[in-house]
Structure 1
Amino acid sequence: MALGGLLFFSISIGGAVALFVSRLFQHTTQGLSLLCGGFLFGLLINDILPSSLKIYDSFGIILGFIIGYLLFLILHKSFHPTTSLKPSLYLLLIAMLLHTIPLALTVGNLLGKSNFGITITTSVILHHLPEGFALTIALLSQGDKLWKLFFCFIGFSIFFTIFVWIGHFTKLTDQGQSMLMGVSIALIATTSVSEFMLHNVRTVPRRTFLTFILMGYLLSYVFHIMI
Structure 2
Amino acid sequence: MSALFLGGFLFFSVNIGAVIAWLVAKIFHRSDVGLALLCGGFLVGLLALDIIPAAFHFYNSAGIAFGILIGYMFLLLVNKSLHSSNQHKSSVYLLTIALFIHTIPLSLTIGNLLGNSSFALSITTSTILHHIPEGFAITSIFIAQGQKMIGLFLCFIGLSICFSFFIWIGNHIHLNMKAQSVLLGISIGLIALTSVKEFILHNIRVVPTRTLVTFVLTGYLLSVVFHMVF
User: Normalised by the size of structure 2, how large is the TM-score?
Assistant: 0.73
Q: What is the CA–CA distance in structure 1 between the aligned matches of 2:223 and 2:73, rounded to whole Å?
A: 27
Change (3 A) 1:126 1:12: farther
* Correspondence for 2:129 among 123, 126, 133: 133
1:204, CA displacement in angstroms?
Answer: 1.0
Mean Cα displacement is larger for which, 215-224 or 33-42? 215-224
Change (3 A) 1:129 1:49: closer
Residue in 2 that maps onto 1:197: 200
Q: Is residue 2:151 matched to residue 1:152?
A: no
> Is contact 1:36–1:138 with CA below 8 Å preserved after alignment?
no
Change (3 A) 1:80 1:91: same
- Count of aligned pairs: 210
Mean Cα displacement is larger for which, 214-223 or 184-193? 214-223
* Correspondence for 1:162 among 161, 169, 190: 169
Could you tell me which runs of 5 or more consecutive residues in structure 1 were left unpaired when the two chains were aligned: 111-118
1:156, CA displacement in angstroms?
Answer: 1.0
Q: Is residue 2:7 matched to residue 1:8?
A: yes
1:103, CA displacement in angstroms?
Answer: 3.4
Alignment of 1:54-203 (within 5 A): 54-81=57-84, 94-107=101-114, 120=117, 128-142=124-138, 143-145=140-142, 147=153, 148-164=155-171, 166-167=172-173, 171-203=174-206
| Structural RMSD (CA) | 3.4
User: Normalised by the size of structure 1, how large is the TM-score?
Assistant: 0.74
Taking only the aligned residue pairs, the percentage that are identical comes to 34
1:9, CA displacement in angstroms?
Answer: 3.8
Mean Cα displacement is larger for which, 2-11 or 62-71? 2-11
Q: What is the CA–CA distance in structure 1 between the aligned matches of 2:211 and 2:111, rounded to whole Å?
A: 38
Mean Cα displacement is larger for which, 11-20 or 200-209? 11-20
What SS does the aligned partner of 2:206 have? coil
Question: CA offsets, 1:23-81, max 9 Å, x none?
Answer: 69947221222122212211211221011111110111112222222222222111235
Q: What is the CA–CA distance in structure 2 between the aligned matches of 1:96 and 1:223, rounded to whole Å?
A: 23
1:16, CA displacement in angstroms?
Answer: 6.4
1:209, CA displacement in angstroms?
Answer: 1.0
Change (3 A) 1:199 1:124: closer
Residue in 2 that maps onto 1:207: 210
